[in-house]
Amino acid sequence: MPGLYIGSTSGYSGKNTITVGLGLAFQKAGLKIGYMKPVGAMPVETDTGLADEDALFVRAALGLEDDPAHTSTAMTPVVVTHDFKMDAFEGRLAGMSGEGGGGLAAQVATAYQGLEKGRDIMLVAGSGSMYSGKYSGLDAVSLVKTLAASGGTFKALVIDRFEKELNYDLLLMLSEQMQGNLAGVVLNDVPPTFLEEVSGHLAPFLESRGIPVLGILPRDPLMGSITVGDLATRLGGKVISAHHRTDRVVSQFLIGTMQVENFMLHFRKKKNAAVIVGGDRSDVQLVALEGDCPCLVLTGNLYPNDVILTRSEVLETSIIIVREDTFTVAKKMENLLMRHKMRDAVKVRQGADLVAKHLRLDTLRASLGI
């Protein structure tokens, strides 16, 4: 029975998106899938014990909540906590011995064998990068070798997300280390201005080096977006107006520290952009409100005047008050938009559509023998 490990060159590269997209595509094709995330890095308490937040989300997105085999402990046999790390550093992990992680790797293999029964394919999601967990012998490269040795076809799909450029050197290194267990790579979140270069030059180069490029996913604003309500929570801010419109989507931001004329030029080019501005800059605030931005983020814990509050209610544009200065909030926003998790239903559907449209599913299925 074939299995596929979905890993990446770095964290926050789209593993959940690709895993859910592949799972839904395989289910649509009539295949019975199993799912696990061997090492959980997002501990969460449940009624049945410690689980991984991402694994629970993916299980729900794939409709596996009622599958008795997919318990939280079966899906994620190893959950990393602070105590786990300390035990690893001090050599106290039970059965841990050297390169393979000893009993930990065996624990993962046992859980995998239990979940694969009666399935047409197993999807195994990674945590962090392909090298995360090396300190405990549970990095992806080692786990792929362990699971491949347990019998049946088992390969890895590696996601490389575009951040200034793609990690082609690392992809070449991984191809050598995977020793024939690499099904291919997916180049994710590629900006429109780089699509031609990636598809016309980098992809053919990787293919010439024996690395199948199974898909090039263009950057999609929705996948990197966040609702106004989530944004307020993540920034530690308070919504003070238009509370009923906190479901609006923010996909980028603009800092309103410039003169109004310059701000207007930049603002017209930004769609779904939250405006980060000092609470005392009513001139910029009014322009942003009239231009239908999804929300204002006012910094320095300064409240707007009554005119701005009234216009925000009339125009149904929420205002968020935060304590930090504009620069600090902008850095937080940048990280949030890059790393915000795929959690809501609209993102699940969009991710599935991207996978169905841009991944070479037939090539992947042929590689796995399904």
Q: Are 288 and 310 in contact (CB under 8 A)?
A: no
Q: Are 15 and 223 in contact (CB under 8 A)?
A: no
Q: Which fold has domain 3-223+341-368?
A: Rossmann fold (3.40.50)
Q: Are 312 and 292 in contact (CB under 8 A)?
A: no
Radius of gyration of the chain (CA): 23
Q: Which residues of 156-169 are buried (b: 16+ CB within 10 A; e: fewer)?
A: bbbbbbbeeebbbe
The β-bridge relationship of strands 249-250 and 226-227 is antiparallel
Residues with Cβ < 8 Å from 269, sequence gap 6 or more? Answer: none
Q: What is the DSSP string of 168-201?
A: HHHHHHHHHHTTT-EEEEEEEEE-GGGHHHIIII
CATH number of this structure's domain 226-339, picked from the four choices 3.30.70.250, 3.40.50.2300, 3.40.1390.20, 3.40.50.720: 3.40.1390.20
Q: Are 18 and 55 in contact (CB under 8 A)?
A: no
Lay out the sheet containing 252-255: strands in order across.
238-241, 318-321, 295-299, 273-278, 252-255
Tokens matching residue 291: 């231009």
Residue 98: helix, strand or coil by DSSP?
helix
Residue 341 is predicted with a pLDDT of 60
Question: CATH 3.40.50.300: which residues of the chain?
Answer: 3-223+341-368
Q: To 5 degrees, how large is the angle CA 1–CA 136–CA 59?
A: 45
Q: Are 58 and 6 in contact (CB under 8 A)?
A: no
Residue 97 is predicted with a pLDDT of 46
Question: CATH 3.40.1390.20: which residues of the chain?
Answer: 226-339
Residue 339 is predicted with a pLDDT of 65
Residue-by-residue pLDDT tens, the chain, 370 positions: 899 999 999 988 889 999 999 999 999 999 999 999 999 998 998 887 889 999 999 999 999 999 999 999 999 999 999 999 999 898 887 654 444 445 899 999 999 999 999 999 999 999 999 999 999 999 999 999 999 987 789 999 999 999 888 999 999 999 999 988 999 999 999 999 999 999 999 999 999 999 999 999 998 877 778 889 989 998 999 999 999 999 888 888 888 877 787 787 778 777 888 999 988 889 989 988 988 899 999 999 999 999 999 999 999 999 999 999 999 999 988 888 776 665 666 677 888 899 999 999 999 999 999 9
Q: Are 282 and 310 in contact (CB under 8 A)?
A: no
Confirm whether pTM is higher than 0.85.
Answer: no
